[in-house]
């Protein structure tokens, strides 16, 4: 055995190593920084059973000579920069049990010769540039337990899988077409099923109830339609359900009532038309992520959501919810502290050649983050937030929300919320996104908002806010005036409206200005009235009193005489 794994080795793999050591049975060089190509001299190692070269910087094509090492049982070339097609000579490796070439730049099709790998238990070709139809030869691989060909360019229908031992299937992010393959329902041991981001359509079959061990199902971003018609006897083991971005309709999936281990539920961007059932609070007590956005759900937000003490992400946006925001949502204790864990683990274990293999499947969610939808993968446990935007909610913002110091985003925009912004908003110390726009909020902006040191997206526009905009700290970096637009009582930076005498109310701001206008008008009319009165006073006196008139005229004549003498003297 040759083992140099998990070091900092560089350079190329020495070809002489295989030429001078033909008896080698195991070659471990994974997790280094080895470069270059796989040497064709590897064919000299006729007794090699294990070749682990994953997580290096290898490039070039996979040498066809590898097909001459018929004794190979485990071949891992993943996470390199390998190019070219999978060589047809791989079909000669009839003893192969584990084949992993994921995260490379391989092109072309899966070779038909793969039909010869009847001992294969794990096949992972994830994240390459492979394309075309997946050969029906996969049906010959009856020992297969793990299949991942996601993140490629495969098309046509999903191939028939004749094995009954599959624990995990991932065909996501391809262009597979057709209806849901009934053959998958025969995989009674299946724990992970991911068909997301394809072009599948039609109704979901009732036979999904046969998957009694299923932990994770992701059918999102396809064109499935109709009701979710799973049996009432559907399994209780489900931990993660992703059905978003389809055309599913009808009522809420009541089958989920029995899934007490459910952690993640994403039914967003469908056509569900129902109320949120009150049983969700006690039937799914472990729920951490609930996404129901962009459906046709209606009614009020049930107070029973407050029973979900582990809930850290709630997205009900883009529906038709009415009424006020339940104040007892403040019981969502998981939002009260920043998250320290990195991911929500979903893992299964299985054995290959008496080695325990732990397969960790990376959870992912799609959320509206900073005005754009982003897919968070692998770090979703860090995401804590509430999105109730684009509904018909009324009443005030519960001040209890300021207890959620673990929140990273809060979006309550496009509702009919009134009252003021909670004065303790500054408690949300790690908040990065705050959107309260397009409501009917009034009053001043709390000075505590300047204490949100992580805030990098703020929108308070289209409300009835007034007074001076707080300054200092992070707010000084938010210089876009549109953040505060269409609040006609606001003044101060970054608006081009100066505040007068530190005014902090609409009445004070506009009252002072109005008083100045009235004062100017009074002065103008007073002067005009004085001039008019003076003119008629003198004119009337000259007309009524002859002696005054004679005296005035003599005075004027005298002034004229003196002026004329002065001019002639010059």
Q: Is residue 183 pLDDT above 90, yes or no? A: no
pLDDT category, 314, cuts 50, 70, 90? very high
Beta bridge partners of 217: 193, 241
pLDDT category, 234, cuts 50, 70, 90? low
Contact 484, 460 (CB under 8 A): yes
Q: Is residue 63 pLDDT above 80, yes or no? A: yes
For the chain, give the mean pLDDT. 85
Give the mean pLDDT of 435-442.
97
Question: From the CB of residue 543, how many other CB atoms can be counted at a distance below 10 Å?
Answer: 10
Question: Which range (252-261, 454-463, 515-524) has the least confidence?
Answer: 515-524
Distance CA 125, CA 343 (A): 24
pLDDT category, 556, cuts 50, 70, 90? very low
* DSSP for 65-91, written as a single string: GGGG-TT--EEE--SSEEEEPPPGGGG
Span 531-540, pLDDT tens digits: 665 555 555 5
CA atoms within 13 A on the CB side of 455: 25
Q: First-to-last CA distance in the chain?
A: 129
Which whole-number Å values give the CA distances from 451 to 369, 471, 499, 502, in the listed order? 21, 10, 22, 21
- Looking at residue 564, its pLDDT comes to 38
CA quadruple 533, 539, 545, 549: dihedral, nearest 10: 140
Widest pairwise Cα distance in the chain: 145
Q: Is residue 569 pLDDT above 70, yes or no? A: no
Question: Which range (38-42, 57-61, 336-340) has the least confidence?
Answer: 336-340
- Rounded to 10°, the helix 546-569/506-544 angle is 90
Q: Is residue 347 pLDDT above 90, yes or no? A: no
- Looking at residue 162, its pLDDT comes to 84
Q: Is residue 343 pLDDT above 80, yes or no? A: no
Q: Where are the beta strands (DSSP E) in 327-432?
A: 347-352, 355-360, 364-369, 372-377, 385-387, 392-395, 409-411, 416-417
Question: From the CB of residue 389, how many other CB atoms can be counted at a distance below 10 Å?
Answer: 24
- Looking at residue 522, its pLDDT comes to 58
- Looking at residue 155, its pLDDT comes to 94
Measuring CA to CA, which residue among 120, 116, 109 is closest to residue 166?
A: 120
**Two tokens at 133?**
């139809």
pTM of the model: 0.83
Q: Is residue 354 pLDDT above 80, yes or no? A: no
Question: From the CB of residue 39, how many other CB atoms can be counted at a distance below 10 Å?
Answer: 18
Distance CA 568, CA 570 (A): 5
* DSSP for 354-378, written as a single string: TEEEEEEPPPEEEEEETTEEEEEES
Tokens 């997206």 locate to: 457
- Looking at residue 521, its pLDDT comes to 57
Give the mean pLDDT of 268-274.
93
What percent of the chain shows pLDDT beyond 70? 82
Pairing of strands 347-352, 355-360: antiparallel
The distance of Cα 158 from the centroid of its chain, to the nearest Å, equals 29
Q: Is residue 353 pLDDT above 90, yes or no? A: no
Q: Is residue 495 pLDDT above 80, yes or no? A: yes
Give the mean pLDDT of 46-58.
95
Q: Is residue 253 pLDDT above 80, yes or no? A: no
Selected residue with higher pLDDT from 139 and 172? 172
Selected residue with higher pLDDT from 372 and 180? 180
What percent of the chain shows pLDDT beyond 90? 62
Span 102-127, pLDDT tens digits: 999 999 999 999 999 999 999 999 99
Q: Is residue 527 pLDDT above 60, yes or no? A: no
Contact 400, 324 (CB under 8 A): no
Span 1-37, pLDDT tens digits: 889 999 999 999 999 999 888 899 999 999 999 999 9
Pairing of strands 168-170, 192-194: parallel
- Looking at residue 536, its pLDDT comes to 57
Residue 311, C-beta contacts closer than 8 angstroms, at least 6 positions apart: 287, 288, 289, 290, 305, 332, 334, 335
- Looking at residue 505, its pLDDT comes to 38
Give the mean pLDDT of 124-151.
93
Give the mean pLDDT of 342-352.
67
Give the mean pLDDT of 430-441.
96
**Two tokens at 289?**
């992520």
Distance CA 522, CA 526 (A): 6
Measuring CA to CA, which residue among 232, 244, 282 is closest to residue 260?
A: 282
Q: Is residue 79 pLDDT above 90, yes or no? A: yes
**Two tokens at 27?**
């070659």
Q: Is residue 349 pLDDT above 90, yes or no? A: no
Distance CA 155, CA 152 (A): 9
- Looking at residue 107, its pLDDT comes to 97
Give the mean pLDDT of 496-512.
56
DSSP state at residue 254? G
Pairing of strands 50-52, 74-76: parallel
CA quadruple 63, 69, 71, 72: dihedral, nearest 10: -10
Residue 214, C-beta contacts closer than 8 angstroms, at least 6 positions apart: 190, 191, 192, 193, 235, 237, 238
pLDDT category, 378, cuts 50, 70, 90? low
Q: Is residue 359 pLDDT above 60, yes or no? A: yes
- Looking at residue 524, its pLDDT comes to 56
Span 509-521, pLDDT tens digits: 343 344 445 555 5
- Looking at residue 535, its pLDDT comes to 58
- Looking at residue 517, its pLDDT comes to 53
């Amino acid at each position: 055995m040759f083992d140099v794994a998990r070091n900092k080795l560089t350079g190329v793999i020495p070809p002489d190593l295989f030429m001078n050591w033909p008896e080698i049975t195991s070659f471990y060089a994974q997790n280094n920084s080895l470069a270059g190509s796989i040497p064709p001299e590897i064919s000299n190692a006729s007794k090699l059973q294990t070749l682990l070269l994953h997580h290096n910087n290898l490039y070039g094509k996979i040498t066809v000579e590898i097909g001459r090492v018929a004794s190979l049982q485990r071949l891992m070339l993943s996470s390199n920069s390998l190019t070219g097609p999978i060589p047809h000579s791989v079909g000669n490796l009839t003893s192969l049990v584990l084949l992993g070439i994921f995260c490379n730049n391989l092109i072309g099709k899966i070779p038909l010769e793969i039909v010869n790998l009847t001992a294969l238990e794990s096949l992972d070709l994830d994240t390459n540039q492979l394309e075309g139809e997946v050969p029906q030869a996969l049906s010959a691989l009856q020992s297969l337990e793990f299949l991942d060909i996601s993140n490629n360019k495969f098309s046509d229908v999903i191939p028939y899988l004749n094995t009954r031992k599959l624990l995990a299937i991932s065909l996501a992010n391809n262009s597979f077409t057709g209806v849901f393959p009934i053959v998958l329902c025969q995989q009674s041991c299946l724990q992970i099923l991911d068909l997301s981001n394809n072009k599948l359509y039609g109704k979901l079959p009732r036979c999904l109830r046969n998957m009694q061990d299923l932990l994770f199902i992701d059918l999102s971003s396809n064109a499935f339609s109709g009701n979710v018609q799973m049996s009432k006897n559907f399994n209780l083991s489900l931990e993660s359900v992703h059905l978003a971005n389809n055309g599913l309709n009808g009522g809420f999936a009541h089958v989920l009532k029995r899934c007490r281990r459910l952690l993640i539920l994403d039914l967003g961007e469908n056509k569900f038309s129902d109320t949120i059932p009150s049983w969700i609070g006690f039937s799914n007590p472990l729920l951490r992520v609930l996404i129901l956005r962009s459906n046709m759900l209606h009614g009020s937000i049930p107070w029973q959501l407050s029973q979900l003490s582990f809930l850290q992400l709630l997205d009900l946006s883009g529906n038709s919810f009415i009424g006020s925001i339940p104040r007892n949502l403040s019981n969502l204790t998981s939002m009260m502290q920043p998250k320290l864990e990195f991911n929500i683990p979903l893992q299964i274990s299985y054995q290959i050649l008496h080695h325990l293999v732990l397969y960790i499947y990376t959870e992912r969610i799609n959320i509206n983050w900073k005005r754009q939808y982003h897919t968070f993968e692998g770090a979703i446990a860090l995401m804590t937030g509430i999105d109730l935007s684009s509904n018909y909610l009324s009443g005030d913002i519960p001040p209890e929300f300021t207890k959620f110091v673990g929140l990273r985003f809060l979006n309550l925009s496009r509702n009919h919320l009134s009252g003021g912004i909670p004065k303790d908003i500054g408690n949300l110390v790690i908040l990065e996104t705050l959107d309260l726009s397009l409501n009917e909020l009034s009053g001043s902006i709390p000075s505590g908002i300047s204490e949100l040191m992580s805030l990098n997206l703020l929108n308070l526009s289209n409300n009835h806010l007034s007074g001076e905009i707080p300054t200092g700290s992070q707010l000084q970096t938010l210089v876009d005036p549109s953040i505060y637009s269409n609040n006609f009582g606001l003044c101060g930076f970054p608006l081009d409206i100066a505040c007068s005498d530190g005014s902090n109310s609409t009445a004070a701001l506009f009252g002072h200005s109005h008083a100045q206008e009235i004062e100017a008008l009074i002065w103008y009319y007073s002067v005009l009235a004085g001039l008019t009165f003076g003119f008629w006073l003198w004119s009337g006196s000259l007309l009524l009193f002859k002696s005054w008139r004679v005296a005035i005229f003599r005075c004027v004549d005298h002034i004229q005489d003196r002026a004329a003498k002065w001019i002639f003297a010059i």
